[in-house]
Structure 1
């Protein structure tokens, strides 16, 4: 995959691709149901050439003059040393590495500009990079919440419910990863149940574990059981989402996990989690420059391990409430930063992950959706290719909300229509709609209207567009209550995509053997 083209491996066998294509939600436009979005609108270029060069030059200065600290992974250090990095020993298992301007960009030239992540249902394969957009659920929350039970620690049942909700929506394209932490399972074993749940309850692509090198290896091995070892060696079927330790640190758990995914030819996402004023400069240009430096170095490690391994540049830019020190999400400055990251990713010819339906609201309310829209539109406009956190993000990422999950997927449906753009073929221009009956006549019964009335506009599953009087007579139900009813209905109607029984048995056997080999760890 070193030439930047899409690798199209073998289509899944019967055992791997046995899921059926999902059906569109009631009342929504079937013509928009797609395995991923091929954008029909241009990206928005916020900065001019001079400004972009200044940010790139600052990122180069960070890498060359300050450097990146590596911890607890001498093998990663050896790879960068051999590639020309200037290594300084800082003491036990700590090294600073500085990179001459241009060195990291040169290493990244073997990374693919676009790659395919294969799903067990080949109809749900996604292409990541270029003009493609992939929406995935939120990731990493320890808590879950709904209007009935309130806020509580997540369980494996919640984890599986959220996978089912994602699978039930045609507006998501990917099953995601740690949708919530299943805190009722031991820390050192829950990764097995999470990966298995993605395989069992979804037939889309998914993310594996990254919390320890051995858990990364387990995730990849489960993917081999599902797809076959040869298929996995030649195709991306699983990805890991890796955070740098900002500012300017890559710890050994992270780099060993990155090396495991890259060695197996699997995808990896490289994400600095930057809180302005805490672990990055307050000013957005400074945060973007730091983000670029950290993510580029992290991505470069994959290419030193296996040139051509799929890798994704990423950013998580956040402002802060400087009165309290709390992170703030869905604010305008990080949205602008995402626009700049889109330009920088295109200049590097790397796929980009950034933004999502972010919010610090504690309820699925107006604040939640106002902040989510600000952030999500920046992902759409900047050209993000993989949008994690597309559904469920609430409480500053501490909580996954059942109600906000379906509110967000509804918004994702609207964004499908938005990204589809405006067609200008003869039929779309609609001249015959006006000409059929002429001036002064309504168009309800024209042939043009009859051809298009089912697909012309996005039809929300949650909006209430009735007159006030009808809404009042029906009980004055607000959006959050409608979302509560919606997710319960989706779970009640959910049907798991078929999974080959032999593969299911092999996965369960692998999990049982791994779990029996170690004692439970809860910390």
Structure 2
């Protein structure tokens, strides 16, 4: 079954996301799904109006709610702003990074001899380091998740490379994606139909007002 719940801002009536109540509702919905034996579609979200600290907090917290609730499918997980009324390109990049981190976290942790690395411990004397051990050299490029937008360098290196914020890096990434994008066959015809539909609905002035 599909559905998710959240509380609202009692000052405006606007939906809220990433709140403790949102997470509690996700966990309760997951318990209901397991009780009745059905797969369950949930959702993340953000009430923030721009890609800022609030937006990141709300999306990550709501994703954790879905994860704790064992959702079968999570939609609205990337790019959401203003409670789903608007979409942010920078927000999309940031959210994809959050999703990748959660997916990596859910992978089983290796526990074989190569992962435990007793041979590496034997190679390093007290007071030494592990950067030059065989285990490190064999696994350094794949051992950790490579971020798509985060800058893990120290302050000096970050400043030398232009002191780009996460927002600026995300902007450069989505612009590069669109610049290099090649539309699949038939895309232009579908875009034309969508544009005509948007124009028709815009001219109609939206949904009729119920009196």
TM-score, length basis structure 2: 0.83
Note the alpha carbon deviations across 1:326-364, whole angstroms, 9 max, x for none: 2211111111221222222123221111132x2111111
Q: Secondary structure at the match of 1:314?
A: coil
Could you tell me whether the CA contact under 8 Å between 2:4 and 2:29 is conserved in 1? no
Equivalent-residue separation in structure 1 for 2:24 and 2:139 (angstroms) = 36
1:408 aligned partner: 95
Q: Which has the higher contact order (CA 8 A, sep 6+)?
A: 1
Equivalent-residue separation in structure 1 for 2:183 and 2:112 (angstroms) = 40
Equivalent-residue separation in structure 1 for 2:47 and 2:58 (angstroms) = 8
Could you tell me whether the CA contact under 8 Å between 1:320 and 1:327 is conserved in 2? yes
TM-score, length basis structure 1: 0.35
Could you tell me whether the CA contact under 8 Å between 2:4 and 2:25 is conserved in 1? no
- Confirm whether residue 449 of structure 1 aligns to residue 116 of structure 2: no
- In structure 1, stretches of 5+ residues that fail to align are 1-312
Could you tell me whether the CA contact under 8 Å between 1:315 and 1:338 is conserved in 2? no
> Which residue of 466, 469, 474 corresponds with 2:161?
474
1:399 aligned partner: 86
- Structure with more of its chain in helix, by fraction: 2
Give the superposition deviation at 1:366.
0.7
1:327 aligned partner: 15
Could you tell me whether the CA contact under 8 Å between 1:359 and 1:371 is conserved in 2? yes
Equivalent-residue separation in structure 2 for 1:450 and 1:382 (angstroms) = 39
Note the alpha carbon deviations across 1:353-402, whole angstroms, 9 max, x for none: 1132x211111111110111100111122111211111100111110001
Q: Secondary structure at the match of 1:354?
A: strand
Equivalent-residue separation in structure 2 for 1:377 and 1:317 (angstroms) = 15
User: How many residue pairs get matched?
Assistant: 196
Note the alpha carbon deviations across 1:193-231, whole angstroms, 9 max, x for none: xxxxxxxxxxxxxxxxxxxxxxxxxxxxxxxxxxxxxxx
Equivalent-residue separation in structure 2 for 1:352 and 1:435 (angstroms) = 49
Could you tell me whether the CA contact under 8 Å between 1:355 and 1:378 is conserved in 2? no
Residues 48-63 of structure 1: matches in 2 within 5 Å?
Answer: none
- In structure 2, stretches of 5+ residues that fail to align are 205-211
Equivalent-residue separation in structure 2 for 1:395 and 1:388 (angstroms) = 16
Q: Secondary structure at the match of 1:318?
A: coil
- Structure with more of its chain in strand, by fraction: 1
Could you tell me whether the CA contact under 8 Å between 1:359 and 1:368 is conserved in 2? yes
Could you tell me whether the CA contact under 8 Å between 1:335 and 1:355 is conserved in 2? no
Deviating 4+ runs (over 6 angstroms): none
Note the alpha carbon deviations across 1:251-277, whole angstroms, 9 max, x for none: xxxxxxxxxxxxxxxxxxxxxxxxxxx
1:459 aligned partner: 146
